[in-house]
């Protein structure tokens, strides 16, 4: 005689899972007893068995056919309750063999093999399996249903973090405080490269004086380079000592005004403070490319130049200036 035996095994050890917040969720199995139910062709429609699921997160079970026969008809329905079993309603169950969801299982044709199911019971008080249509079959087939209830306790996980440095060659050229020309124009320039694309990420500028004051500061792009004047090349070390390639962009420091190259549309215009020497004065920091989807300040070829320009203003008494260019090459 065909029959259906149902057994929920609430013993054993649960898995370790990770929730959406990357916290470890250690699952524990209820210490409660087993829930057992069975049906055969003589079982009455709507005969059901149930299980209290309070405190549980999910139920995993398998359906295995056997016994030397085949079911020709019959249907089970899966249901949950949120009011301690007063009212039940269908709940979809995930079939891990087909990845289909359904609140019913049709017994027709079942004679062998395992079907694995998972259902979430979090927030519900009861789960049950109900015989919705009568079972019938040939031979002596049987089905066995074995499952486990899991409850999850969220435990804080150790968060491992590490900085992932970029792969681009990165350089800095810094100029210590010095006395610029009396009415300075370009005090520092970065000229591009014929072999790499230069991307300026950051420009820092700082002023001090014996008499406090301010100056207009502009960051300009020139399409031909400065000439003449009095200048020296600034050393540009790599930020990573393992990067053995020498920078191909060049930075020059002007102590006497150059003959200015063409172009000169401002990319930045701001006031540069010259407080009294010895006072606290963080450098003015201009960054490029740090916004979402934004580009860095790109310098293409040896005819392009980015200049720090003081607009030929009068330097405050005793004024000195320092600056830094930071850029990448690729």
Contact in structure between 259 and 229 (CB atoms under 8 Å): yes
* Chain mean pLDDT for the chain: 81
72-90 residue pLDDT tens:
888 888 888 888 888 888 8
**Confidence at residue 307, expressed as pLDDT on a 0 to 100 scale:** 97
The structural domains of the chain, ordered by start, are 3-155 (2.60.120), 169-329 (no CATH)
Res 247 pLDDT > 90: yes
Rg (C-alpha) for the chain, rounded Å, is 38
Beta-carbon contacts of 202 under 8 Å, excluding residues fewer than 6 positions away, are: 285, 286, 287, 288, 324, 325, 326
CA distances 210 to 59, 178, 207, 216, 316, Å, are 77, 13, 11, 18, 8
* 230 or 62, higher pLDDT: 230
- Residue 112 near residue 143 (C-beta atoms within 8 A): no
pTM of the model: 0.54
User: 225 falls in which pLDDT band (50, 70, 90)?
Assistant: very high
235: which 2 tokens? 């050393």
Helices (H) and strands (E) in the chain, counts: 0, 25
Closest by Cα among 212, 66, 263 to 145: 66
Percent above pLDDT 70 for the chain:
76
């Amino acid at each position: 005689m065909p029959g259906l035996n149902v057994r929920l095994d609430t013993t054993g050890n649960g898995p370790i899972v990770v929730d959406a917040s990357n916290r470890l969720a250690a699952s524990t199995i209820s210490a409660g007893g087993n829930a057992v139910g069975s049906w055969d062709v003589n079982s009455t429609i709507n005969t059901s068995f149930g299980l209290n699921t309070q405190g549980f997160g999910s139920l995993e079970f398998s359906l295995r056919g056997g016994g030397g026969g085949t079911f020709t008809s019959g249907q089970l329905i899966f249901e949950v309750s949120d009011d301690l079993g007063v009212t039940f309603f269908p709940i979809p169950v995930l079939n891990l063999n087909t990845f289909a969801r359904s609140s019913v299982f049709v017994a027709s044709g079942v004679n062998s093999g395992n079907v694995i199911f998972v259902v979430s019971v979090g927030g519900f008080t009861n789960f049950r399996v109900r015989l919705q249509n009568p079972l019938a079959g040939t031979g002596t087939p049987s089905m066995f249903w074995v499952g486990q209830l899991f409850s999850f306790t969220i435990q804080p996980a150790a968060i491992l973090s590490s900085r992932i440095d970029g792969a681009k060659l990165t350089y800095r050229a810094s100029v210590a405080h010095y006395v610029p020309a009396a009415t300075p124009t370009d005090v520092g320039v970065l000229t591009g490269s014929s072999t790499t694309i230069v991307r300026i990420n950051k420009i820092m500028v700082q002023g001090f004086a014996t008499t406090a004051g301010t100056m207009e500061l502009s960051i300009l792009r020139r399409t031909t380079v400065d000439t003449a004047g009095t200048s020296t090349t600034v050393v540009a070390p790599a930020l990573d000592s393992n990067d053995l390639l020498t920078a191909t962009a060049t930075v020059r420091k002007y102590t006497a005004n150059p003959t200015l190259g063409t172009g000169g549309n401002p990319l930045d215009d701001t006031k540069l403070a010259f407080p009294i020497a010895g006072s606290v004065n963080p450098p003015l920091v201009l960054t490029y490319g740090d916004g979402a989807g934004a580009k860095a300040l790109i310098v293409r070829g040896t005819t392009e130049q980015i200049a720090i320009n003081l607009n030929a203003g009068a330097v405050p008494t005793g004024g000195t200036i320092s600056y830094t260019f930071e850029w990448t090459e690729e």
